[in-house]
Amino acid sequence: MNNVTPIKRKGNGTPPPAGAHIDSASYALLVETLIGFLELRIKEGDAGRNCDELERLNRQLERLAERFTPLKGAA
């Protein structure tokens, strides 16, 4: 069984344990999701729409991706 590192939630105050890691398939999904949100944010902004919520979600995904970059064991 793999260890699971929980995502820090608001008000938790407990930092994630050192050495947090993610498997490569999950990391690829995370990055693909981040890219999709970024593309949607650009598209919505180009259409003149207010995108505060998309910007907030993008920042959260970026912070999450940064926690796992570079992947442990990555060459």
pLDDT per residue as tens digits for the range 14-36:
655 566 678 889 889 999 999 99
Q: Give the C-alpha separation, 60 to 71, whole Å.
A: 18
Residue-level pLDDT at 29 = 92
Reported as a pLDDT band with limits 50, 70 and 90, residue 43 is very high
C-beta separation of 38 from 51 below 8 A: no
Please indicate, yes or no, whether the overall pTM of this predicted structure exceeds 0.75.
Answer: no
* Structure-block tokens of residue 52: 């505060």
Q: What's the pLDDT at 3?
A: 60
